[in-house]
């Protein structure tokens, strides 16, 4: 198995055997002028640290550049990207701010999400106001940047012996957008112990209850799970296994398993019943998880300082600075 990622004229090569990788590189070099940069250490703004125990991904240099470009490299750090229960509106009578600067910062922050799922909700919310940002949106953006100032050293750690079982978490916050009443869905998937994909998005339709919002969020997570199943099966050549998705709403779980339409659920758009088919076909299994262990919670709402830091740790975002890794004995040098 050989996998080649291509971005313009840059190639990222990995595979199941060193022999196959070397053979491919030799063949490419015989046909094209090519520079071999060796083991991957940096790719598209992402720093990669490889060592015998695993792989570390971080974007601390890119984070500092975002702060420099925004003129906030010396700002006072804060502990959370958004205040708890923060709400924003497009219909506000506040003054407008520089939309180009706002969009530029949001665009850069969105790229940072490749290694920072803890920022997914805050950046996702502020992305809704790029057309005509107001003073409150600009103030919230500054808070996100202040949080980044104090957390640029955070990233993701993929351990070598973490396992290969696929596990997902799905959650939602009901009726949080004051402009249209729509809820926010969040899901995160793990391969073994490490997060590999996550999402925080506003739902397309208005949910009439928290159960309905959770059911809709779980359906989106199921779609992601099926795609991941197929991708991993193609990569490792094995038959895809059933994927467990953890949900903290028992009523929503019951909806995924009960094909009978009840008065309170018969209005739900039929496309959201896709998850029922996945459960019936034994592709997906939906299990209950206590709210305190719901890893997707941080993707659906703003949290207080203590809860936010605990959830950040729970989803796998950690201090991957060189000093901390040396202190823990995970890298040498």
Asked whether the beta carbons of 135 and 164 are under 8 A apart, the reply is no
Q: Are residues 79 and 30 in the same domain?
A: no
Q: What is the DSSP string of 228-272?
A: HHHHHHHHH-SPPPPEEEEES-HHHHHHHH--S--TTTTTS-GGG
Residue 332 lies in a domain: no
Geometric angle at alpha carbon 44, from 18 and 162, rounded to 5°: 55
Q: What is the DSSP string of 304-328?
A: -HHHHHHHHHHHTEEE--HHHHHHT
pLDDT for the residue numbered 162: 76
Residue 95 lies in a domain: yes
pTM: 0.91
Q: Are residues 78 and 186 in the same domain?
A: no
Residue 137 lies in a domain: yes
Q: Are residues 176 and 282 in the same domain?
A: yes
Q: Are residues 141 and 174 in the same domain?
A: no
- Domains held by the chain: number: 3
pLDDT for the residue numbered 135: 96
- Give the tens place of pLDDT for each residue, 149-169: 999 999 999 988 877 889 999
Q: Are residues 286 and 193 in the same domain?
A: yes
Q: Are residues 16 and 108 in the same domain?
A: no
Q: Are residues 292 and 170 in the same domain?
A: yes
Residue 73 lies in a domain: yes
Residue 303 lies in a domain: no
pLDDT for the residue numbered 328: 64
**Owning domain of residue 11:** 2-38
Ranges of residues in the chain with a pLDDT under 50 are none
Q: Are residues 194 and 284 in the same domain?
A: yes
Q: Are residues 179 and 273 in the same domain?
A: yes
Q: Are residues 144 and 223 in the same domain?
A: no
Residue 317 lies in a domain: no
Asked whether the beta carbons of 183 and 203 are under 8 A apart, the reply is yes
Residue 48 lies in a domain: no
Residue 26 lies in a domain: yes
CATH number at residue 271: 3.30.420.10
Q: Are residues 147 and 170 in the same domain?
A: no
């Amino acid at each position: 198995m050989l996998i080649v990622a291509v971005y313009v004229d840059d190639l990222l090569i990995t595979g199941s055997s060193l022999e196959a990788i070397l053979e491919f590189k030799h063949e490419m070099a015989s046909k094209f002028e090519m520079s071999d940069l060796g083991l991957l250490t940096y790719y598209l703004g992402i720093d990669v640290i490889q060592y015998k125990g695993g792989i570390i991904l971080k974007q601390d240099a890119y984070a500092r550049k975002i702060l420099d470009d925004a003129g906030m490299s010396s700002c006072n750090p804060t502990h959370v990207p958004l205040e708890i229960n923060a709400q924003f509106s497009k219909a506000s009578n506040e003054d407008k701010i520089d939309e180009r600067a706002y969009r530029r910062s949001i665009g850069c922050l969105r790229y940072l999400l490749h290694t920072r799922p803890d920022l997914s909700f805050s950046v996702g919310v502020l992305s809704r106001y790029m057309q005509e940002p107001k003073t409150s949106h600009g103030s919230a953006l500054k808070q996100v940047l202040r949080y980044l100032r104090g957390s640029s050293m955070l990233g993701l750690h993929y351990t070598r012996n973490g396992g290969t079982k696929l596990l997902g978490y799905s959650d939602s916050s009901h009726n949080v957008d004051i402009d249209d009443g729509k809820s926010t869905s969040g899901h995160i998937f793990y391969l073994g112990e490490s997060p590999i994909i996550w999402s925080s998005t506003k739902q397309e339709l208005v949910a009439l209850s928290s159960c309905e919002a959770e059911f809709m969020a779980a359906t989106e997570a199921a779609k992601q799970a099926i795609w991941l199943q197929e991708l991993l099966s193609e990569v490792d050549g094995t038959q895809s296994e059933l994927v467990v998705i953890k949900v903290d709403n028992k009523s929503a779980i019951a909806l995924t398993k009960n094909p009978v339409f009840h008065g309170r659920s018969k209005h739900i758009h039929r496309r959201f019943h896709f998850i029922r088919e996945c459960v019936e076909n034994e592709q997906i299994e939906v299990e209950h998880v206590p709210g305190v262990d719901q890893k997707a919670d941080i993707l659906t709402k703003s949290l207080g300082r203590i809860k936010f830091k605990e959830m950040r740790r729970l989803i796998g975002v950690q201090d991957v600075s060189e000093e901390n890794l040396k202190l823990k004995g995970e890298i040498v040098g």
